[in-house]
Structure 1
Amino acid sequence: MTATATSFQPVPQPDPAKAPVTQDMLTIPRKLPDGPANLVGMTRDQMRQAMIDIGVPEKQAKMRMGQLWQWIYVWGVRDFALMTNLAKDLRAKLAETYVLAVPEVVTRQVSEDGTRKYLVRIAGGHEVEVVYIPETDRGTLCVSSQVGCTLTCSFCHTGTQKLVRNLTTAEIVGQVMVARDDLGEWPHPGQDVSELGPRRLSNIVLMGMGEPLYNFENVRDAMKICMDPEGIQLSRRRITLSTSGIVPEIARTAVEIGCQLAVSFHATTDDVRNVLVPVNRKWNIEALLTALREYPALSNSERITFEYVMLRGVNDSDDDARRLVELIRGIPAKINLIPFNEWPGSPYQRSTKARIEAFGDIVNRAGYASPVRRPRGEDIMAACGQLKSATERARKSRAQIAAEVATGA
């Protein structure tokens, strides 16, 4: 007999008063190492001002910014000397004053299924992971927004790594640029982008390390660069932001980014979701669903994706499936069922194939698409919920990780 949500024995959690689930921005190191300003990650207005700051006349600054923007984001060029439609003295001044820097690739792993995982190093020596997932009709890049994570979701390997800091706009858009480097997908200078055919990197999902909505401004600016029609040129419909439910930022996401939205839902009662996704203690299921009901209209999004990790005996009963479809009734939605990706020290097990299918049947009969996400890159720890910087993973034993999950440390 399959256990229901009421029989769930939760992993012990810390006292919320001692370990608040909200992010304390004051605890995150904000200062980056001193050095030349990085043009990668600047907004158009910021880059225009950068031109003025080195002596470009204001009347020319917008045009020069547009040329520089194209070199960086259409052709992927990071050597000022190669930007031949800029005057030599301007190129020299740019090289003296600014840099064009993206994260450093430390390791690159390729799974048996073609998934690529990059460990990249950013300012301060910190590391994050980025995953490229090739499919027959698309190529999706899973991008990180923070070093570590503050949410401590009990089923997520990334959540066992302490939050270090937010990524900058340059470090977020730089992950996309690094992947395009590796895929050889930049056109030659002057080449029409349409000549390249279907893109290998066609979609972005903000589902890597961190909670994107706790780094809103940097994520927003990075995605605007990716959506810029004279730059990387990805449609907002090909960008999906995944959140655990930071309710105050959901409407802002609709208005200021307008991308597709995915929600790490994972439970149908507050008691269970409080354990699986502790931010639920601040914004519960009712508050989250209220915000989500308004999102499609505000963002012109077609539907919201509900991410639902399948945990044996925890959230996978028929009663859970029936509660789920009742909770989301009236919201344009699809439900991604995610077989749990196990990691060393994990306190959970993957639901059986039969249980996942039975759960999906109930959801389908209610009129919702419920595809089962095929785990990708498991052999290189690149699957959903498995990302964690290599240095952090290597320095902890399995017993230490298990103890942290059990105590909520």
Structure 2
Amino acid sequence: MTDAAATNIEAIGLGSKVDLLNLTRSELEAFVVEDLRQPRFRADQLWHWLWLRGARSFAEMTNLSKDLKARLDVRAGIVWPAVDVARTSSDGTIKLLLRLADGERIETVLIPMGEHYTQCLSTQVGCAMACSFCSTGELGFTRNMSMAEILGQILVGREHLAKAGLPTVRNLVFMGMGEPLLNLGELLRSLETLGSAEGISIASRRATVSSVGIPQALKVLGDSGLAVPAISLHAPTQELREKLMPKAARVPLDELLGCLDRYPLKPRERVTYEYIMLGGVNDSLAHARQLVKLLGQRRCKVNLIGYNPPPPSVSPAPPYRAPEPGVVLAFEDYLRSKRITTFIRRSMGQDIAAACGQLKLLAGPEEPGADRA
């Protein structure tokens, strides 16, 4: 059992009990066979109930004997994050403020994408990176999240959507609170668990891990084959990146890009570079030319993201301003003219502080779209 898993069990008061959502498929099988002295197929049944059916209690598991349910009640628990507040944006985006078992809180976002939802997952309580344009960084870092807490966001999200009669989650982006690669062990366990056909069943090609870029961890992620990274670049030069993302920029751009050039990709895969456009700071055609010089020969695509200022109630004088729409289009056109695949990512959920860079545990009932659980 990992340190994060053990910490979570202690925090929720389970004592010597095992939180089953913190066990990978092989760990669950070992628990069933070695601890409970049950046949191996019982692990298949439990896995199905936990991850496919979303059971919150052993009483719901109708194909288990009374004796086994009683033993599970003594030895194990199932702990979901609790929904403190749910907010719905005018564009259909849903943000859930979740309370973890030890009282810490995080946010997850459900983004409508036609016939399904994409869910933005948090991996840490707070964030240690302190990027100058990101509200989450102002919170500082509290702790890493366990696999149960990371994947528990999906269980809660799917249940919320089902109760509302809405389509389910099909794609995942690890772009919520925290730097995923600074919680590498629990991230890998989560990615491994996602692909189980009898569980959450989201293939690796539908999961994207967003990171500021940590070479040693990127190598481990690449060797695992579990996900393709989206790199938070946000500047075309080392000097500008140091101003915008001083902690991330401790890794020189040359070193980071060299690591990504070696990242193992399948034939149709490319590394995504995320570029938040800050009005008057990094959005000129001169910056676009520098970005082409940086990425032009690389196997990549670029996502342009307009800066999302925090709500006035949080920051009356935000440090940056959003770029002008015409400037964004000109930037995109220039990159495309140089044969760099480029997309402008539509910002969704701005009116409920759910857009990129806005997650900051806003819980006040006065906020638009708030619905306390």
Structure 1: runs of 5+ lacking an equivalent: 1-25, 186-195, 395-409
Q: Distance in 2 between matches of 1:300 and 1:52?
A: 40
Deviation at 1:262, TM superposition (A): 0.3
- The match for 2:236 is 268
- The match for 2:368 is none
Q: Distance in 1 between matches of 2:268 and 2:155?
A: 26
Identity of aligned residues (%): 37
Match of 2:41 among 63, 66, 74: 63
**Quick check: 1:303–1:331 contact (8 Å CA) kept in 2?**
no
Q: Deviations over 1:272-320 (max 9, x none)?
A: 10121223432111111001111143x6660111100001111111121
Question: Is it true that 1:282 corresponds to 2:250 in the alignment?
Answer: yes
Query: Any idea what SS the aligned residue of 2:262 has?
Result: helix
Deviation at 1:53, TM superposition (A): 4.8
Q: 1:280 to 1:162 in 2, by over 3 A?
A: closer
Q: Deviations over 1:344-373 (max 9, x none)?
A: 242111111111111111101111222111
Question: Is it true that 1:45 corresponds to 2:26 in the alignment?
Answer: yes
- The match for 1:365 is 337
Equivalent residues in 2 for 1:388-399 (5 A)?
A: 388-390=360-362
Q: Distance in 1 between matches of 2:150 and 2:162?
A: 19
**Quick check: 1:169–1:222 contact (8 Å CA) kept in 2?**
yes
Query: Any idea what SS the aligned residue of 2:309 has?
Result: coil
Deviation at 1:49, TM superposition (A): 2.3
Q: 1:296 to 1:364 in 2, by over 3 A?
A: farther
Equivalent residues in 2 for 1:69-80 (5 A)?
A: 69-80=47-58
Q: 1:278 to 1:30 in 2, by over 3 A?
A: farther
**Quick check: 1:111–1:379 contact (8 Å CA) kept in 2?**
yes
Deviates more, 1:255-264 or 1:67-76: 255-264
Q: Distance in 2 between matches of 1:305 and 1:201?
A: 21
Aligned residues: 352
Match of 1:243 among 191, 197, 211: 211
Q: Deviations over 1:235-277 (max 9, x none)?
A: 1110000000111111111122521210000001111101212
Q: Distance in 2 between matches of 1:141 and 1:228?
A: 18
**Quick check: 1:260–1:301 contact (8 Å CA) kept in 2?**
no
Q: Distance in 2 between matches of 1:159 and 1:252?
A: 25
Equivalent residues in 2 for 1:108-119 (5 A)?
A: 108-119=86-97
Q: Deviations over 1:75-105 (max 9, x none)?
A: 1112212212222211111122211111010
- The match for 2:68 is 90
Greater relative contact order: 1 or 2 (C-alpha under 8 angstroms, separation 6 or more)?
1
Equivalent residues in 2 for 1:93-172 (5 A)?
A: 93-172=71-150
TM-score, structure 2 normalization:
0.89
Q: Deviations over 1:24-60 (max 9, x none)?
A: xx9xx95742423210121112212221354324xx1
Q: Letter of the aligned partner of 2:58 in structure 1?
A: F
Structure 2: runs of 5+ lacking an equivalent: 366-373
Equivalent residues in 2 for 1:393-408 (5 A)?
A: none
- The match for 1:329 is 296
The structure where strand makes up a greater share of residues is 2
**Quick check: 2:231–2:273 contact (8 Å CA) kept in 1?**
yes
Q: 1:361 to 1:296 in 2, by over 3 A?
A: farther
Q: Distance in 1 between matches of 2:131 and 2:208?
A: 20
Q: Distance in 1 between matches of 2:268 and 2:184?
A: 19
Which stretches of structure 1, 4 residues or more, deviate above 6 A after TM superposition? none
- The match for 2:370 is none
Equivalent residues in 2 for 1:290-309 (5 A)?
A: 290-297=258-265, 302-309=269-276
Q: Distance in 2 between matches of 1:176 and 1:117?
A: 13
Equivalent residues in 2 for 1:172-191 (5 A)?
A: 172-184=150-162
Give the CA RMSD over aligned residues.
Answer: 2.3
Deviates more, 1:265-274 or 1:82-91: 82-91
Q: Distance in 2 between matches of 1:301 and 1:144?
A: 27
- The match for 1:221 is 189
TM-score, structure 1 normalization:
0.81
**Quick check: 1:30–1:165 contact (8 Å CA) kept in 2?**
no
